[in-house]
Amino acid sequence: MDTLRKPIQRQPAAIGERSILTRRRFQFAGALLFGAIVPWLLRWVLPGTLVEAATLNGLSGNILAITIAFWMRLSIETYPGIRRAYVILPSALTGHGLVVVWFAATRFPYDRFGLALGFLLHVLWLYLLYINAERGLVRRIAVVPYGAIERLSRIPGVEWFRLKRPRLADSRGCDAIVADFSADMPDEWERFLADAALAGRIVYQVKQLAESLTGRVELEHLSENSFGSLLPARGYFHLKGLIDFVFALMLLPIVLPVMGVIATAIRLDSKGPVLFRQERVGHSGRNITIYKFRTMHELKTRGRPRDELMMDEDRITRVGPFLRRHRLDELPQIFNILKWQMSWIGPRPEAELLSVWYTKEIPFYRYRHVVKPGISGWAQVNQGHVAGVDDVYVKLQYDFYYVKYFSPWLDLLIFLRTIKTMLTGFGSR
């Protein structure tokens, strides 16, 4: 078997031989059965009837909640670096939560027991499917052998199968087909791709597939978004700003006492100001002053070079590692959000001096500032803290991916992974 790289050892067979448990239609049908029909039928033996208003509304509510959750999962799972186990519970909570809020607002009668049981059975069904059928699944993708396909061989986690002839039967057992649409390929291969699309097979463009699998955009030139524009979706851009502001206001009563405790600990731990302020570049290239809790001792440059001091790990205070590990040092940036300077999620604001240097090295670097900077971002949940020049270059690739695929679903994915990052301390310095 001719492959782009040494085949990856995989536990399940190719998709053509995979269990029905991995098919989306089966998963959705099972969720409707266990999460909606079963709670409704239980009213046959429990107090109440199958046809009373509250029971029927509970059935309709569970069906709607499962549909919303399924749609959310499909939307989020298109992005790289996500395990389905991460989105099962949040999507189910969102779907069922919206239904409960709607019933509470409209005061329609509904079956509380049915809705609660539907949520539990829905989540249990999806986790059982994941554990028994989807965990450790490795995708197998057929590759049309023309154009810029060699970049695919550097992407792990996929078994790449190079096609030898333009026959659909040869790609049987593959999850999808990938090709370089801009390549000059023979007519029979063009017909092969058209036939694959007509047969309902998934056919990817090599550039978009590489971006999707790695979560990075190559820094070759400016990249348009999915609508062919350099500007991200303006409607969502403004809506996101409003959501950021409202969410920050709602969190203030909870965050302020926590910040008070942290400020006291910093004050008792070492001399110096509680907050660290720094000029950074924000939206549209405008300078902003960001706030962080101080986690290092103040510089004392007498007798020692400044650069040496900047590398001195002894400068970190006793409470500093804990604050950095759990990203609590970023909490004061909630005030930057309230000033409409930052977002909860977006590329991290870069220091002014570094931004000037990057702009000289990469002419279109300033395009990064087309969205608001964020407290957490796509680069932070994928890469963590960066130090070397090569790491900085990769970070920019993640940032450009976020700008190109700017959407509420990507923000939701980053939010979910940020929670994990805060709990595990991934990428802290």
Task: Give residue 55's pLDDT.
Answer: 92
Compute the mean pLDDT over every residue in the chain, rounded to the nearest whole number: 82
The pLDDT of residue 309 is above 60? no
Residues 39/121, Cβ–Cβ less than 8 Å:
yes
Please, what are the domains in the chain?
Answer: 19-134 (no CATH), 139-214 (3.40.50.10700), 234-424 (no CATH)
Task: Give residue 49's pLDDT.
Answer: 83
* DSSP secondary structure code for residue 315 in this structure: G
- Token output for 325: 């590990």
Q: How confident is the model at residue 91 (pLDDT cuts 50, 70, 90)?
A: confident
> What is the residue type of 184?
D
The pLDDT of residue 135 is above 70? no
Kindly state the average pLDDT of the residues 190-213: 86
Task: Give residue 225's pLDDT.
Answer: 46
Task: Give residue 134's pLDDT.
Answer: 65
The pLDDT of residue 340 is above 90? yes
pTM confidence score: 0.69
Kindly state the average pLDDT of the residues 182-202: 89
CA angle centred on 142, ends 150 and 405, rounded to 5°: 70
Kindly state the average pLDDT of the residues 132-157: 81
Q: How confident is the model at residue 367 (pLDDT cuts 50, 70, 90)?
A: confident
Q: How far is 395 from 380, CA to CA, in rounded Å?
A: 8
21: Cα within 13 Å, side-chain hemisphere: 14
Alpha-helix residue ranges (DSSP H) falling in 331-407 = 334-338, 352-361, 378-382, 389-404
Task: Give residue 305's pLDDT.
Answer: 44
Q: How confident is the model at residue 120 (pLDDT cuts 50, 70, 90)?
A: very high
Of the listed ranges 43-52, 302-311, 370-379, the one predicted with least confidence: 302-311
Buried b or exposed e, range 338-353, using 16+ CB within 10 angstroms: eeebbbbbbbbbbeee
The pLDDT of residue 27 is above 70? yes
The pLDDT of residue 82 is above 60? no
Kindly state the average pLDDT of the residues 233-250: 90
